[in-house]
Amino acid sequence: MDEAFLPLEGIMAGLAPVSAGVRDDDLGVYSYIDAFEIESPVELDISHDETGTLRIGSTPPLYYVDTSLRPSYHRLRFRAVLTEGSDAG
């Protein structure tokens, strides 16, 4: 993978909030996130590592080139939704 790119799974993990809520009992304030969505143009790098495992790298567009033919960027959409409970019992 090109050194300018980060593993896609690391980017996805970094986008997710550590906690869905913020609480201040002294002030009596509680705020929570029940869903969020981020969409961004990205460049992708697809390669295989030395074991043959497929690696997907991503980065924001590195270069904006004003030419008659612009590079084709992909779009990454990340949506996280808070769910309560579990069907597992």
Q: Report residue 55's pLDDT band, with 50, 70 and 90 as the boundaries.
A: confident
Q: Across residues 11-25, what is the average pLDDT?
A: 76
- Per DSSP, the residues of 39-80 read EEEEEEEEEE-TT--EEEEEES-S----SSS----EEEEEEE
Cα 59 to chain centroid distance, Å, stands at: 10
pLDDT at 86: 41
Q: Report residue 38's pLDDT band, with 50, 70 and 90 as the boundaries.
A: confident
Residue 34: which of 42, 22, 24 has the closest Cα?
22
Q: Across residues 39-58, what is the average pLDDT?
A: 84
Other Cβ atoms within 10 Å of 33 Cβ, number: 13
